Amino acid sequence: MADLARLSFNQMTAGKASLKEVAESCVRNGIQWIGPWRHAIGDNPAEAGKMLQDYGLKVSSLCRGGMFPAATIAERQKRIDDNLRAIDEAAALNTDLLVLVNGPAPDKDIDGARQMVVDGIGAIVNHAASRGVRLGIEPLHPMFAADRSVIVTMGHANEIAAQFSPHQVGLVVDVYHIWWDPQVYREIARTGERIFAFHVSDWIVPLPDTLMGRGMMGDGVIQIRRLREAVEAAGYQGPIEVEIFNQQLWDRHTDEIIRQVAERFIKLV
C-alpha cells in the first residue's frame, strides 16, 4: 500500500482552483506534497515558493517546460529562453524537478522535431544543473504525437536521457501515457535511477476525450499498483503525483476532489 505521505497533488487535478486554494485544501486534508503549474504561480515565483513553504508543503515538480520544436531558429531560441526561465521558477519554488512536455513537430518532419528536443535539452541542461534543477522528460501517450509531444515512448525518452548525466536528465513516468506499452516493465527497470517522478490517474473505457478524459484511479483499466511496484523495484522512492485532467472532476469542490484522491490513493495506488 502506498503511504499517504508520498501523495503529491498536482494542481491541475483541481483545474479551476487557484494555487492558494489548492495549497490550503492540501493542508486541511493532510497532503504534504503539491505539483504546481507555471501559469498559476504568477509573476513572482519566489513569493509563490514562500507561500507553499509557509503552508509546510513540499513541491514535487514544476509543470512544465519543453515545447522545443519550432519552424525557425528564432522561435526555437525563444522556446529555449522560456525553458531557462522555467528552470529559475522551479528553483524559486524549491523544487528540484522541471517536467518537460516536449512539443509537436512544426511540420511533417517528426524525426527533425525529435532532434530539436535533444538540442533543446542540451541548450538548457547546464543552466538547470547550476540551479539544482533536474529535467524530467515526460513521454506522452502516442495519441499526442501530432499536437503535444514527439516523445511518446519510455524507450525513446531513455535514449535521449542517456545522452546526459543521470543526475541531470531523467523521465517522468505517468501511467496514463505508458500503460499500453508492451515494453513498459522492461523500460521501467531500464530507467532505474532516472525515474525522476511517477504520476498516476486512470484510463477510462470508452475514453471520454483524449486530453480531458483522464480518470480517477480505480475508474479505468490501468494496473496502477503493479506499475507502482515496478517503479519502486527500479529504485524510485519519491512522491507519487496525482494528475487528472477531467472536466467532470473540475466541476467539483477542491476539498471534495482532494479527499477522493487521497482515498483512492490509499486503496488503489
Which position has the grid cell 536521457?
161
Total residues at interface with its own copies (CB under 8 A): 31
**Across the chain, which distance is largest between two alpha carbons, in Å?**
49
| Cβ closest to its own copies, residue 221 vs residue 266 | 221
Selected from 165, 223, 247, 248, the binder of its own copies by CB under 8 A is 223
Question: Residue 218 is which amino acid?
Answer: G
Selected from 155, 166, 192, 238, the binder of its own copies by CB under 8 A is 155
- Judged by CB under 8 A, does residue 228 bind its own copies? no
DSSP string of 144-184, one letter each residue: GTTTTBS---HHHHHHHHTTS-TTTEEEEEEHHHHTT-TTH
Do 153 and 181 meet the contact criterion of CB atoms below 8 Å apart? yes
- Judged by CB under 8 A, does residue 181 bind its own copies? yes
- Judged by CB under 8 A, does residue 179 bind its own copies? yes
Cα–Cα distance for residue pair 154/264, rounded to 1 Å = 26
Cα–Cα distance for residue pair 5/193, rounded to 1 Å = 21
Selected from 30, 42, 132, 142, the binder of its own copies by CB under 8 A is 142
Selected from 1, 162, 205, 233, the binder of its own copies by CB under 8 A is 205
Cell digits for 7?
A: 501523495
- Judged by CB under 8 A, does residue 182 bind its own copies? yes
Selected from 38, 64, 79, 114, the binder of its own copies by CB under 8 A is 114
Binding site for its own copies (CB under 8 A): 104-105, 108-110, 114, 141-143, 145-147, 152-153, 155-156, 159, 179-183, 203, 205-207, 210, 220-223
